[in-house]
Amino acid sequence: MKKIMFSTLIIMGSLLGLLMGARATVIHGDTLKKGTLTVGLEGTYAPFSYREKGKLTGYEVDVAKVVAKKIKMKPKFVQTKWDSLLTGLDSKRYDVILNNVGVTKERKKRYIFAEPYLYSKTVLIQKQNGKLRTLKDIKGKKLAQSTSSNFGQMAKKNGAKIVAVPGMVEAMNLIESGRADAELNDAGAFELWHHKNPDVKVKAVKMDKEIPSVPAAPMLNKNNPKLQKQINQAIKELAKDGTLSHLSQKYFKTDLTKK
């Protein structure tokens, strides 16, 4: 009797395994059929990606949408803090990062990039009476930066004392309160922030002579060259037909899609 029951359990277990396997195949098939492009971004870095009246918007949100449409996929956005973005890509929480990520030699060792969709220009933000003008001036100064960002690495390389912050809003609060001397950040991001906070007495010194514009591009895992190729083609087409320039004018009030 026990042998019969044991055999029955084995048969039932095998059938259950087959059913689960079939169900998993169907789910996987549905996912491929839907064609979802999962995009990692901060969602708190205006005008790149941010929430307005609860809705996710911004230049990179719109770029992701038009790229996804070009490659016949549906965009799905995953928000996370800057310092967690790379970890999320490594663990395949998303397919690609669109978050003003600069193309650097160090990152190219671990990841692959698609075509640039933006060229970032750097400014040194400080109080209106601040006297910092060059990278030499920030040596020994307290700079409020995201530690793993391009700007944070640049500040550290030039001898600044890094005060770690999750984003620009926190950095500006530290500068305004005097707990930090300055911040290196994107010119477009500062202009939008200052437009919304005109009473805060800060200024931005252009760093064009020392820091050339840095291309920002979609970043992917190295094992995803097929998707890279699709995104490359989409961005080239969107640049050619003027879509990227139009979106840049919409969010930055200037065209940052060219060097």
pLDDT digits (tens, 9 = 90+) for 25-66: 333 333 334 699 999 999 998 899 999 999 999 999 999 999
pLDDT digits (tens, 9 = 90+) for 202-225: 999 999 999 988 899 999 999 999
Token code pair at residue 150: 């391009």
SS3 label, residue 102: strand
**CA gap 83, 76 in Å, rounded:** 20
Closest CA to 152 of 175, 125, 185: 185
Token code pair at residue 88: 């999320």
Q: What are phi and psi of 140, to 5 degrees?
A: 85, -5
Residue 172 has pLDDT above 60, yes or no: yes
C-beta separation of 175 from 202 below 8 A: yes
C-beta separation of 216 from 117 below 8 A: yes
Q: What are phi and psi of 148, to 5 degrees?
A: -95, 5
Is 0.85 surpassed by the pTM of this model? Answer: no
Q: What pLDDT, on a 0 to 100 scale, did the predictor assign at position 30?
A: 34
Is 123 exposed, middle or buried (CB count within 10 Å of its CB: 0-12, 13-18, 19+)? buried
